[in-house]
Amino acid sequence: MQCMMKAICAQCLQRHVDPVTGDETFVFSCVNQDQPMDQVDFANLNSRLKANSVMEKITSLWLDYLIERWQPARV
């Protein structure tokens, strides 16, 4: 699924390393979903996804709390 932010938030920033030259580049994966597999830095990707998962879990807990607390009384 593509992000609607289109290179604004940088949560999808992906590091690429050219296997021949060793040059490092960065792309927004929300904009460019077709990436050459041999250039993707998977260790960097794994670290970034783990960092994102912490915020996703905190957000989920916060939303559960808000929904439970502010749920309107049923009639």
Query: Sorting pLDDT into bands at 50, 70 and 90, what band is 61?
Result: very high
CA distances from 46 to 9, 15, 41, 61 (A): 18, 11, 9, 23
pLDDT in tens, 9-60: 777 888 999 999 999 999 888 777 788 889 999 998 888 888 878 888 999 9
